A = this chain, B = another copy of it.
C-alpha cells in the first residue's frame, strides 16, 4: 500500500503539501496540486484512516451498543444510526450485548479502546457501574437510546411510551373495556415501566375492576400468568408491552384456544411487520425506530459541538395503528 511519503517523493514535494491537498487545509499552487494529484493517481494511494485518527486523535466513528441486533425494532434503530452516521461522514462500529451485563461492559470497553468519537447505548436491563460511569466521565459523549431514564447524566433519545400507552388505553376504555390483562414484562427496563405507568394513568379513577398486570423476566411465567388470568373469562382485552411479549401472549392464547378478536381484544407495542396482511391484524403502537436511531446521532453531533450544555432528552412520538385485533371485538351482552 502506497503511503503519503511515496506520493510526496513521486510528486517531488513534501508530505505536508500532499496532506494539504488531500484535506485542503491550506492553499496550494494549482501546478503543484496537479503534480500531487497525478502522483496519487499513479500510486493508487489511499489515505490511512488509522494513522490519520491517531494523529488527529479523532476517529470519525461512533460506537453503537444494542441489546439485541436481531430484534426488528433494534435492527431499524441500527439502520437509522448507520444512515445518519454515514450522512455525517462517520462510520459505525456495532456491538451487541444480548441483554447481558458482562457483554455490554466488554462492548463498551472495546469501543472506548477504539476511541470512538461518541457512543450510543441501547442498554440492557441492568448495566455495570463501569458502563454507568462512562455516561458521565469526560470520555466521549454518550447518548442513551430507547431505554431512557430520568436524571441520566447524559443525552437520551426515546419514545413517548407513557403517553402512547395512555392514549391506547384510553381508546380501549372508550370502546368499553374495563377488564384488562397488561403483559408488562421485565419492569427493570425503563421502557416497560413507562408503558405500564401510561396504563395506570389511563385507568386512574376509572373502575377498571379486575385488571391484571403481569410482570416478570421469564416467558413461561408470563404465559402461566396469562393462562390463569384468562381462565375466568372476565378479561376483555390483553395489552402486550413489547413485541416479544406479544409473541408470548399470542402463543398462549392460541394454545388456550382463545381467539382474537372474537373472544378477546388485543393490542401491543412495536408489533409485527406487515400486520395488515394477516389475521388477526394487530393493533399496534409503533415506535419510529429508524428516526430514533437517526435522532441519537443528531444529539451526539450537537453534544460534540457544545460539550458543556446540560443533558437533554428527546422523546419521539409513536403512532397508534388501530386494527381488527382490538376493533373487531364485540362485547357480549350478558
Instruction: Report A's interface with B, CB cutoff 8 A.
Output: 46-51, 53-54, 59, 61, 68-70, 72, 75-76, 78-79, 82-83, 86, 91-96, 98, 103, 107, 109-115, 247, 250-251, 254, 272-274, 277-280, 290
Contacts and interface: CB of A to CB of B under 8 A. Distances in A.
Given A49-B113, A86-B96, A115-B50, A69 B78 contact: yes
28 contacts: A46-B109, A46-B113, A47-B113, A48-B113, A48-B115, A49-B110, A49-B113, A49-B114, A50-B114, A61-B114, A68-B79, A69-B82, A70-B79, A70-B290, A72-B75, A75-B78, A78-B94, A79-B96, A83-B98, A86-B96, A91-B93, A91-B95, A92-B93, A250-B274, A250-B277, A272-B272, A272-B273, A279-B280
Contact of A94 (B50, B94, B274): B94
B114 A91 contact: yes
A50 B54 contact: yes
A92 B91 contact: no
Contacts of A114: 49-50, 61, 91
Nearest to A78: B69
Contacts of A79: 68-70, 96
A251 B95 CA distance: 36
A256 to B, nearest CB: 13
Contacts of A280: 278-279
A180 to B, nearest CB: 21
Given A50-B115, A75-B75, A82-B94, A279 B277 contact: no
A273 B274 CA distance: 10
B69 A72 contact: no
Point out which of A94, A98, A115, A273 has the most chain B C-beta atoms below 10 A from its C-beta.
A94
A277 B247 contact: yes
Contacts of A94: 78, 82, 92-94
A254 B272 contact: no
Contacts of A96: 79, 82-83, 86
Given A75-B78, A250-B277, A86 B91 contact: no
Residue picked from A114, A272, A280, most chain B C-beta under 10 Å: A114
Contacts of A103: 86
Contacts of A109: 46
Task: List the 10 closest pairs (A to B, CB-CB), nearest first.
Answer: A75-B75, A278-B278, A70-B79, A69-B79, A279-B279, A49-B113, A94-B94, A250-B277, A49-B114, A82-B96
A51 B103 CA distance: 24
Nearest to A289: B70
A114 B51 CA distance: 9
A114 B113 CA distance: 15
A107 B96 CA distance: 21
Contacts of A247: 274, 277
Given A75-B69, A82-B69, A277 B290 contact: no
